[in-house]
Amino acid sequence: MTRSAVLGKDLTGLEPLDADQLRLILDTAEPFKEVSERPIKKVPALRGKTIVNLFFEASTRTRISFEFAEKRLSADTVNVAASGSSVSKGETLVDTARNLEAMRIDMVVIRHGASGAAQFLGDRIRSNVVNAGDGKHEHPTQGLLDLLTLRDRFGKLAGLKVAICGDVLHSRVARSNIWGLTKLGAEVGVCGPPTLLPRDVRELGVTVLPRIEDAIAWADALNILRLQLERMQAGFIPSLREYNRVFGVSRERLARAPKDLLIMHPGPMNRGVEIDSDVADGEHSVILPQVTNGVAVRMAVLYLLAGGSPDWHHPGGDHA
Amino acid sequence: MTRSAVLGKDLTGLEPLDADQLRLILDTAEPFKEVSERPIKKVPALRGKTIVNLFFEASTRTRISFEFAEKRLSADTVNVAASGSSVSKGETLVDTARNLEAMRIDMVVIRHGASGAAQFLGDRIRSNVVNAGDGKHEHPTQGLLDLLTLRDRFGKLAGLKVAICGDVLHSRVARSNIWGLTKLGAEVGVCGPPTLLPRDVRELGVTVLPRIEDAIAWADALNILRLQLERMQAGFIPSLREYNRVFGVSRERLARAPKDLLIMHPGPMNRGVEIDSDVADGEHSVILPQVTNGVAVRMAVLYLLAGGSPDWHHPGGDHA
Amino acid sequence: MTRSAVLGKDLTGLEPLDADQLRLILDTAEPFKEVSERPIKKVPALRGKTIVNLFFEASTRTRISFEFAEKRLSADTVNVAASGSSVSKGETLVDTARNLEAMRIDMVVIRHGASGAAQFLGDRIRSNVVNAGDGKHEHPTQGLLDLLTLRDRFGKLAGLKVAICGDVLHSRVARSNIWGLTKLGAEVGVCGPPTLLPRDVRELGVTVLPRIEDAIAWADALNILRLQLERMQAGFIPSLREYNRVFGVSRERLARAPKDLLIMHPGPMNRGVEIDSDVADGEHSVILPQVTNGVAVRMAVLYLLAGGSPDWHHPGGDHA
């Protein structure tokens, strides 16, 4: 039995995965955490594999996180940014993909502005495809790193109450979290201005928490989404100050919670808008552990898609 | 005898090479094809060599192809794009080159908008220089991958009839193909609007085929060039639709050929302009094998310029 | 005793270093020179270390020089340019830094337009930070490569007279040179239009040489700074031609010197403005050896900050 059969060829989202597959990824990520703590941060798991990071949207943190995940697995990586690419010459995504495959690329990590771009790519090439964010659809490795961080802190996900706060409507992070959390037995709440919540959000099995105070009273953990500043121009919110006044997560608001809440944020943060600095940097914040877990989760995904055994680190495993 | 002596220090074009040198590159590429089919796509041939990819013009496919060729040979590579480089501070190409050499770079792969840029660079530095496309002059590794693809399918090049169709006037791909094919004994025809054929093209020893129907009736293989969309604005052609109507390669036109024609295109394609989709994706298309051969040919060129023996893969060779 | 203790966690400038620390870096650079002359330009000193090159300002030569230094030490490197980064989403430098650290980056090489940016970063993360140029503050590895080049040619620095010519006011290169040279016992002169010399420059312990002829008569070596072309627009100098007429270093001017002067320039050069071509390319120019030394000095800095022993190349050293 190979793991790629277990996980499928691609990781396009968390929606298509079942609870066992999600747990497999999280369990595989555990030992990869330790690799990044070593003086020599490298295992030979993907040596000689070639991976393209195909980023049609700008991203620092996700691209770097994938790139280090790939390098710590000893893969050879090439970065392609949309600007300066054949795309600007009008080439279709499928022609780009077929060309990469013709170069015998093993994997493509794609970020794209169109929902479904990763699936579209994965359906057309034999190489493994990992979705690094596609439009408003999913950002599955962000969802996985959030799951891993929650499991780290609470020991389990079943029964946990997680409130996702902010611009849920436009957020692929929210969607991946909702799928991942509900499949693993957590309860999900969403909280934000009505203009920034999807109309059919209850159909995803989540609780709508109209006010940030409701979210704080209800949840074990808050996952506070970045407010894209362009939402204001587009009229979704009246002003950043107003947004902060009504939905900003502040120390004062948290002080009224019945228990300590875990604070998460996918970054980059708008300090003083959706989250205040003393919350972001406070004792219950796991915003930086989320980033650390991001590398481990991405190593696990790449490793499993490449057909690796989850037992690589044990005596008798791949690299024993 | 070292191969670099045989091939020369640089690869600036196919015009300066003789038939033996061309065959040496194609023969050396053969075993490199197999490296890209391995689970571990890596040979140590250029380990510890440092290569700069110096791209003054945007290019996805050529840059990625070179980068994977370099990485599969275990070289260390650095990419320099024109934007954000010293060039934007007004540094001359020769100063850039001397600086790279002072850093003890082994090789420079250069793409530049000026014809002759690669030669200019090669004359001024001791590092090996590979032309990845210079103005309207040559794109020798594209020419070589076309030769390799034709040889793969037909077994030999001598006597073969290859029609190069489209904007021959502005095409460095066309020029490299004409030099390579004629030196190896193939016959070359060119076909395109009179405004897009060089006035002195017959002096290169090629047959002018005025209509696409003539090319289809004459050739064993069509190499269909990309129509740069800016040619229309510049008045070389009346419209894309008109170009497609008169020179587009369609299934209907090919059906009237006396034999099956091999279909080639250097990419990126304008589907529906110079080539129809059912031709591009049809059974006689070798457009994707061209891309695959591109990596092998570039590995061969880099390897030979570095002084490698063509016998590296044989017992008793470099890496036995 | 580890060297990082000796050198400190970061290299933010030459001002904080003492003479012993400067000599340690120069002495450590010596054997690294030889690595770049080998057929296999690689030592395993930083294998499995992960380094981010975080460049908020464009730079070809410095970025490439660091990148090859890192690769020749076998580190894994990732490049981040300001454009297309989280920075364009308004993320603060400290959040960027904390995120990199959370990914368990070992070192950050930063170039930034704000004086003090490297120190600011270094104070906030545990990873080693190397300043690759911050505003008008310092460019310490450029200063070090200038020191190494002078020591190579003259055997020692004590007592040497070095004139720094040009736009001293805006130059981080000048400041790093002044600190490094004076700490190692050299005498420093500065020469340039009064508008381009810092008002308090004498407080740094340097001699002001009003005319280029004064500098040529006084010095053993000229370090000729690049004249940023935007200084003319900003009114610091009347015109490039006028600048060249009054301060340009020409063969004619050098012919009147009492002795042969060593010619240095940090690049990129404006040939015909601050330096004439026959001087830049003349027999006393060490402009290209400066570039060569840049790689060795950067290898030494990265190696020492990582805790390496200066004896790595000796029998009994790290890699014996």
One pLDDT digit (tens) per residue for chain A, 320 residues? 444 448 999 999 999 999 999 999 999 999 999 999 999 999 999 999 999 999 998 888 899 999 999 999 999 999 988 654 445 455 678 888 899 999 999 999 999 999 999 999 999 999 999 999 999 999 999 999 999 999 999 999 999 999 999 999 999 999 999 999 999 999 999 999 999 999 988 888 999 999 999 999 999 999 999 998 877 778 888 899 999 999 999 999 999 999 999 999 999 999 999 999 999 999 999 999 999 999 999 999 999 999 877 666 554 334 43
**Contact (CB<8Å) B291/A91:** no
Query: How many C-beta atoms lie closer than 10 Å to residue C153's C-beta?
Result: 15
**Contact (CB<8Å) A68/C105:** yes
Task: Identify residues of B whose CB sits under 8 angstroms from chain A CBs.
Answer: 36-42, 58-61, 64-65, 67-68, 71-72, 81, 83, 229, 267-271, 288-292, 294-295
Tokens standing for residue C8: 């400190």
Task: Identify residues of C whose CB sits under 8 angstroms from chain B CBs.
Answer: 36-42, 58-61, 64-65, 67-68, 71-72, 81, 83, 229, 267-271, 288-292, 294-295
A151 to A264, B190, B293, C48: CA distances (angstroms): 13, 66, 47, 28
When mean pLDDT is compared across A99-113, B176-190, B303-317, C81-95, the lowest value belongs to: C81-95
Dihedral, CA of residue B135, residue B140, residue B145 and residue B146, to nearest 10: 70
Q: What percent of chain B has pLDDT over 70?
A: 92
Specify the pairing of strand C107-112 against strand C50-55.
parallel
Tokens standing for residue C309: 């022993």
Rounded to 5°, angle at Cα C204 from C203 and C205 = 85
Find the DSSP H helices in A155-202.
172-183
Residue B84: closest CA among chain C residues belongs to which residue?
Answer: C58
Query: How many C-beta atoms lie closer than 10 Å to residue C156's C-beta?
Result: 11
Which residue type occupies A132?
A
Rg of chain B over all Cα atoms, to the nearest angstrom: 20
What CA–CA distance (Å, rounded) separates C194 from C139? 23
The overall average pLDDT reported for chain B is: 91
Q: Which of A80, A99, A104 sits opposite B37 (nearest CB)?
A: A104
- Give all chains having 3 or more CB-to-CB distances under 8 Å with chain B: A, C
**Contact (CB<8Å) A289/C102:** yes
Of A198, A220, A217, A103, whose CA–CA distance to A150 is shortest?
A: A220
Query: How many C-beta atoms lie closer than 10 Å to residue C6's C-beta?
Result: 13
Query: How many C-beta atoms lie closer than 10 Å to residue C245's C-beta?
Result: 10
B91-106 confidence digits (pLDDT tens): 678 888 899 999 999 9
Residue B100: closest CA among chain C residues belongs to which residue?
Answer: C61
B187 to A249, B158, B211, B218, C226: CA distances (angstroms): 74, 8, 17, 10, 54
What CA–CA distance (Å, rounded) separates C165 from B299? 46
Chain A: give the shortest CA distance to residue B203, in Å. Answer: 32
Around C120, how many Cα atoms within 13 Å sit in the side-chain half-sphere?
Answer: 17
**Contact (CB<8Å) A103/B291:** yes
Query: What is the DSSP annotation of B135-169?
Result: TTTB-HHHHHHHHHHHHHHHS--TT-EEEEES--T
What CA–CA distance (Å, rounded) separates A193 from A168? 9
Helix (H) or strand (E) holding B296: helix B287-305
Q: What percent of chain B has pLDDT over 90?
A: 79
Residues of A in contact with B298 (CB under 8 A): none
Of C118, C30, C38, C108, whose CA–CA distance to C75 is shortest?
A: C108
Tokens standing for residue B319: 């890496």
Q: What is the pLDDT, as a whole number, of residue C71? A: 97
Query: How many C-beta atoms lie closer than 10 Å to residue A320's C-beta?
Result: 9
Rounded to 5°, angle at Cα A260 from A255 and A262 = 115
A226-263 confidence digits (pLDDT tens): 998 877 778 888 899 999 999 999 999 999 999 999 99
Query: How many C-beta atoms lie closer than 10 Å to residue A104's C-beta?
Result: 21
C201 to C178, C204, C224: CA distances (angstroms): 10, 6, 17
Residues 6+ apart with CB under 8 A from A8: A16
Query: How many C-beta atoms lie closer than 10 Å to residue A123's C-beta?
Result: 14
One pLDDT digit (tens) per residue for chain C, 320 residues? 444 448 999 999 999 999 999 999 999 999 999 999 999 999 999 999 999 999 998 888 899 999 999 999 999 999 988 754 445 455 678 888 899 999 999 999 999 999 999 999 999 999 999 999 999 999 999 999 999 999 999 999 999 999 999 999 999 999 999 999 999 999 999 999 999 999 988 888 999 999 999 999 999 999 999 998 877 778 888 889 999 999 999 999 999 999 999 999 999 999 999 999 999 999 999 999 999 999 999 999 999 999 887 666 554 334 43
For residue B258, say if its preceding peptide bond is cis, omega within 30 degrees of 0.
no
Specify the pairing of strand C161-165 against strand C221-224.
parallel
Tokens standing for residue B32: 């490199």
**Contact (CB<8Å) A95/B267:** yes
Q: How far is CA B88 from the centre of its chain?
A: 28
Q: What is the pLDDT, as a whole number, of residue C50? A: 95
Q: What is the 3-state secondary structure (H, E, C) of B245-259?
A: HHHCECHHHHHCCCC
Of C182, C153, C176, C171, whose CA–CA distance to C283 is shortest?
A: C153
